[in-house]
Structure 1
Amino acid sequence: MSAFGDDFTAEVDPAAEFLAREQNDLAGIVDDLDIKQEIPSTFVEPKQVSAAPSAAPTAAPRVISPSLFSQPAPKEEPEKIRKWREEYQKKLEEKDKEEERKIKELKEQAKRELDEWYNYHEEAMSKTKSVNRDACMAAEKELVADVNGEVNPGQQWEKIAKLCDFNPKASRNSKDIARMRSIILQLKQSPPVKNL
């Protein structure tokens, strides 16, 4: 057959050739990352197809490296960022402590002010009660003295004037009593003289 110039050797698959080249390139990168994680490989490269049906495959099936599928190692945090994070955490803790202290102070201050207000309110109420009690007792004594007291001539109209309401605004919805009011006031100022 060589006399005809035909060479029936197996052709290499371009895809397999590309994968082999990429695997070699990536193998160097993966070795630089020092990844030790093993991923079981179930992917097997397909067999190469030869041009002649009777020719045996030229290469054995190749297994793709599991390092191609592994995750890159997590990057370590830079020193400055780590220091900043620690300082920030300390500042947050200090602020939390300060806030708790201020809340405690505010609660104590509020309790003191509330106690002071209750004391002031209690004192004001006791003073008001005593003033009202004294005023009521004085009014009651006056009323009892007026009722039990002797009536001198000419004082009857003063008692009547005390019992009457002379405020003109209070009697807006009632009958006009202006004439009666004026008569009572005249009698109070100049009581009639009895002739004996």
Structure 2
Amino acid sequence: MSDFGDFNSSMEDPTADFLARERVALGDDADLFANDSPSLSSPAPQQVPLPSVTPTEQLENRAFSPSSQNAFSPQAAHGFGAISPAPAGDYSAFESEFPAAEELETSQAFINASTMPDVEPEVVKQWREKQKELIAERDAESEEKKHEIIQKAREAIDQFYEDYNDKKQKAIEQNREKEENEQSERDQAASGTVWDRITREIDPKTNTNTRDVSRMKQLMMDLKKDSRAPGTIVDA
């Protein structure tokens, strides 16, 4: 390796070698570039100028930014307006010491409802008693009306059958009497002579509004009395 020279010094720090050569080339002007700025070995990152933002826009950006919606989330981005996440242990301790307001209200309401004594006010008790009395009176009236309706229905049915039986009996008696009358008339018509049956059919009294038939009636009456008149002899 002695043929190629010794490269250990330059390979160890190439930046220092470059600066030494530049200083020799510049001479006295090299002091003009000497300052407290970082060396070329670690160049500073370029600063990008941020746009000017008003306080109102900053508040709006915070309100609608994902970091503002979950400030305690470990995934929240670190930047302008970001809130550094709290340690997990502190957050759990805070939740256990100060529970959510909704859960606290619900538990308190449940405890109050379970421990509240079940006592009705006097007004409610009086109202319940009145309702019971009204219901009992209505039930009694309804039962009484029911019995009245049933009794009236039974009486109406009994009266119907009674009237029906009376009418039936009267009709039977009238039919029997009519039949007897007709039978007696048939018997009378069959008995006696022809002139007896004829004289029963005519009215012996003379009517002034009709023709005078008194002589004809007198002749029939004479034939009825005459035992030898034609038609008076009945063949045996």
Query: Where on the TM-score scale, by shorter chain, does this alignment land: which range?
Result: 0.3 to 0.5
Please give the TM-score of this superposition, normalised by the length of structure 1.
Answer: 0.47
Structure number with greater CO (CA < 8 Å, separation at least 6) is 1
Q: Which has the higher helix share?
A: 2
- Which of the pair has more CA radius of gyration? 2
